[in-house]
Structure 1
Amino acid sequence: MAQTSNLREFQEAILSKLKDAANQVGGESSSRLGVTVGDKRFLVNLQDVKEVLPVPPMQLVPFTKPWFLGVANVRGNLYSISDLAQFMGMPATSKSTNNRILLLSTESTAQVALLVDSLIGLRSVQGMQLQSAEDEADFFSLNLYKDAEGGDWLELDIEALVQNKNFVQPI
């Protein structure tokens, strides 16, 4: 149990330091959190993520859309958990030890978490080429980037996602 607590504290400290560094620069940090969702790779602004955790036990909520997985107790707070892949029209996320939930930190919503296939880690958009994301607009994308290896990265617009009427009403 002590190791779990230490790992959580370590993760929280890293996220806190990254957010502080972005604020000290006085602007937007070029670092993003890289995650996989289905067969796509996404970049998530660090300001939009409160915490990243392994998938906790969930309580199902009857009569909701298939992508709404239920609610989970995270240190005394209830979070609604949604399968991001399934919400975006991709196949449901396969259960794996690599799955993670992103606890979102937005002003427009409370206690929302997204299930992702896996966490890739921090990525800098400074070393990537900005592309047109017109074809991917349905995926709540801000930008499309191409990395040095030619891989595509979609920057997820968390605010647009959590304000989407279908996302807000999972019934």
Structure 2
Amino acid sequence: MSAASAAYIKLAEYYARCRDKAAELPLQEDLVQYWSGIGFTLDGVRYVAPLDEVSEILKVPAYTRVPGVLSWMKGVANVRGRLMTVMDLTGFLNKSPTMQERRRRLLVIDEGDLYTGLTVDEVLGMQHFPVDGYLDEAPELDDAVRPYARGAYQRDDECWAVLSLYRLADDPRFLQVASTG
């Protein structure tokens, strides 16, 4: 037998073994699809923001208060040479922050002309939910949050409402920060 024939036979054996082992792999239809977002807490409740709506997560930077604005408009900050408004999401939703300000985090919206940081109590990192765990409406959702919710995901007997930062930014009340009294 020539060296080329021996090599060909060896390759054929490898191919047969690989094909036999591949039969044990799961079929494509057994794969679970996931939706991902950024988990965070407000007033002790867990939420998730769509991944494409959060441009970055920051510690709350030093900011300058602006006179004549509502209390939840914390001020403006210079973030890498850009002027960012710092808004307290818990204050806007009439909730109480559960963390000290220095421990809170910002979810940053950078969409068109809007560059805003929303303070949240805690960021829980990237969260992955099976797509089949999606609910059209989040059960037991607070009325202040409901207009900004886009359903919810159920995982391990826990419900995470999807809070759309873009829906929040489209609300005229959110953009109207001047104090009228």
3-state SS of 1:78 partner: strand
Matches of 1:100 and 1:106, distance apart in 2: 19
Once superposed, what is the RMSD of the aligned Cα atoms? 2.2
Equivalent residue, structure 1, for 2:177: 170
Gaps of 5+ in 1: 1-27
Equivalent residue, structure 1, for 2:155: 147
Which residue, 101, 117, 121 being the options, matches 1:117? 121
Matches of 2:49 and 2:77, distance apart in 1: 22
| Structure 1 pair 106–128 and aligned structure 2 pair: CA distance change class (3 A) | farther
- Match status 1:55 vs 2:63: no
3-state SS of 1:162 partner: helix
- Match status 1:157 vs 2:161: no
Equivalent residue, structure 1, for 2:69: 64
The Cα of 1:165 is off from its aligned counterpart by: 0.8
1:93–1:116 contact (8 Å) kept in structure 2 = no
Bigger Cα Rg:
2
Equivalent residue, structure 2, for 1:81: 86
1:115-146 Cα shifts (integer Å, max 9, x gaps): 01111011112177333237536311101223
| Structure 1 pair 76–29 and aligned structure 2 pair: CA distance change class (3 A) | farther
Q: Normalising by structure 2, what TM-score?
A: 0.70
1:75-126 Cα shifts (integer Å, max 9, x gaps): 010111111111111114542443111111334x411110011110111121
> How many pairs align?
142
3-state SS of 2:144 partner: helix
2:35–2:131 contact (8 Å) kept in structure 1 = no
